[in-house]
């Protein structure tokens, strides 16, 4: 059974600081996705990573994938309040999309 | 462009009542379709997924069922709701892994 684990589960960080969210998974999949969820809302796609070594960047967020280590990271640079949300990684397992536990990010002044 | 519609947005149902949530996708053919449930403050639990008409895979034993009567229609049902069925239900579609899944706006179900 595919397991997808994220850490930390909760992250409180000051504006301007950097931090990394980690996503570990237990299968050999090379297709991983990152999503953002605002409170009470649906999920919004952030990044699609489809091969080992893939790196994608959008604004203050950068995602990478290491399929050999079965690890993806979401790096936050110089956090701002607007980034406060819950972030999920998801792994494709032959037509099933399995989500991680989520990381709730809170950015304060 | 592709769009996904999910309704209703909010639902309050008594214990023991039936349930029917509908999801439709426009602008694509033969999508993979998914139903997820999210308990308050928790992650997403995959309930059902479908790779084609009439093909349903169940991930979690429960009193829910799913059907796909048409290529772009996915329905989540229950004959008798339990209190534990409360949650945020999300429908999603994808093209089989090489693109991300796109989510509907969700249905917040409260069973009372």
Predicted pLDDT at B67: 96
Which segments of chain A have a pLDDT < 70? none
Are A87 and A63 in contact by the 8 Å Cβ rule? The answer is: no
List the single best residue of B43, B89, B107 to mutate versus A (max A Cβ within 10 A).
B43
Scanning B16-75 for CB atoms below 8 A from A yields: 32, 34, 36, 42-44, 46, 49, 51, 57, 59
How far apart, in whole angstroms, are the C-alpha atoms of residue B6 and residue B46? 17
- Give the residue on B whose Cα is nearest the Cα of A6: B43
How confident is the model over A49-65, as pLDDT tens digits?
988 899 999 999 999 99
Q: Do B43 and A98 touch (CB under 8 A)?
A: no
Percentage of residues in chain A having pLDDT higher than 90: 83
Does A2 touch chain B if contact means CB atoms closer than 8 Å? no
Q: How far is residue B72's CA from residue B89's CA, in Å, rounded to a whole number?
A: 18
Please give the pLDDT value at position B97.
62
Inter-chain CB proximity B100 and A102 less than 8 Å? no
Cis peptide before B31 (omega within 30 of 0): no
B46-55 LR contacts (CB < 8 Å, sep 24+)? B46/A96, B46/A97, B46/A98, B46/A99, B47/B76, B48/B76, B49/A95, B49/A96, B49/A97, B50/B74, B51/A95, B51/B96
Tens digits of residue pLDDT in B50-76: 999 989 998 886 799 999 999 999 999
Chain B closest CA to A15's CA: distance in Å?
Answer: 24
């Amino acid at each position: 059974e595919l397991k997808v684990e994220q850490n930390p589960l909760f992250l409180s960080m000051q504006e301007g600081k950097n931090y990394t969210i980690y996503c570990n998974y237990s299968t050999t999949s090379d297709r991983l996705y990152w999503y953002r969820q605002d409170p009470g809302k649906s999920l919004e796609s952030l990044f699609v990573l489809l091969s080992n070594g893939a790196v994608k960047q959008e604004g203050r967020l950068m995602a990478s994938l290491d399929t050999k280590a079965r690890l993806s990271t979401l790096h936050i640079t110089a956090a701002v309040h607007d980034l406060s949300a819950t972030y999920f990684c998801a792994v494709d397992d032959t037509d099933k999309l399995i989500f991680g536990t989520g990381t709730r990010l809170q950015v304060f002044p | 462009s592709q769009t996904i519609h999910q309704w209703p947005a909010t639902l309050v149902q008594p214990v023991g009542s039936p349930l029917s949530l509908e999801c439709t996708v426009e602008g694509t053919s033969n999508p993979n379709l998914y139903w997820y449930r999210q308990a308050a403050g928790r992650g997403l639990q995959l309930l059902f997924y479908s790779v084609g008409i009439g093909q349903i895979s169940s991930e979690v034993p429960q009193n829910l069922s799913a059907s796909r009567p048409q290529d772009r229609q996915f329905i989540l049902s229950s004959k008798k709701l339990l209190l534990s069925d409360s949650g945020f239900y999300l429908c999603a579609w994808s093209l089989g892994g090489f693109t991300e899944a796109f989510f509907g706006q969700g249905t917040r179900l409260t069973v009372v």
